[in-house]
Structures are given as C-alpha cells and as structure tokens.
C-alpha cells in the first residue's frame, strides 16, 4: 500500500514536470516562432521585399517572446 502511494506521488511529480516543460516550450518558442513565420510570409505575399519581411519576422519574434514572458510566465 505504501509503495502504491509513493508511486502515485512520483507519477504526479513527473506529470507536473512534463506539463511545465511542454508549456514553457510552446509559449517561449512555439508561439513567437509561429507568429514570426506568419509575419514573414505575409510581408512576402504583400511584396514588401525579403529584407523587410525578415525584419518584420524577427521583430515579431522578439516582441511576442517578451509579451509571453511578461504575461504568461508564472
């Protein structure tokens, strides 16, 4: 009985760590990168040129990264 309780506690801790790692990766890397790609391709489609598209993508990545860090990180 004691082994089962200890195993459940260890499983819960492992699940919590996995959840936090997934949420950190998606909010700090996934969301900013996806929005940066969106801005890059949107600017390419609007024929703003490759350099402006790269700048817009990079600026969007940095801006969204800091917004996520400020508002969504615990």
Tell me the whole-structure pTM to 2 decimals: 0.72
Interatomic CA distance for residues 39 and 56, integer angstroms: 6
Interatomic CA distance for residues 50 and 43, integer angstroms: 8
Using the predicted structure, report yes or no on whether residue 2 has a pLDDT greater than 80.
Answer: no
Residue scoring higher pLDDT (16 or 7)? 16
DSSP labels, 1-53 = -HHHHHHHHHHHHHHHHHHHHHHHHIIIIIHHHHHHHHHHHHHHHTT--HHHH
| pLDDT given for residue 73 in this prediction | 64
Domain residue spans of the chain = 2-71
Question: What is the pLDDT confidence band of residue 6, given thresholds at 50, 70 and 90?
Answer: confident
13-65 per-position pLDDT tens digit: 888 888 888 888 888 888 899 999 999 999 999 999 999 999 999 999 999 99
Closest CA relative to residue 28, chosen from 71, 65, 61: 65
């Amino acid at each position: 009985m004691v082994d089962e309780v200890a195993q459940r506690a260890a499983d819960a801790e492992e699940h919590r760590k996995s959840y936090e790692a997934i949420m950190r990766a998606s909010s700090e890397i996934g969301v900013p990168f996806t929005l940066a790609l969106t801005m890059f391709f949107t600017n390419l489609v609007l024929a703003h040129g490759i350099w402006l598209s790269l700048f817009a993508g990079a600026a969007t990545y940095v801006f969204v990264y800091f917004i996520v860090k400020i508002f969504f990180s615990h």
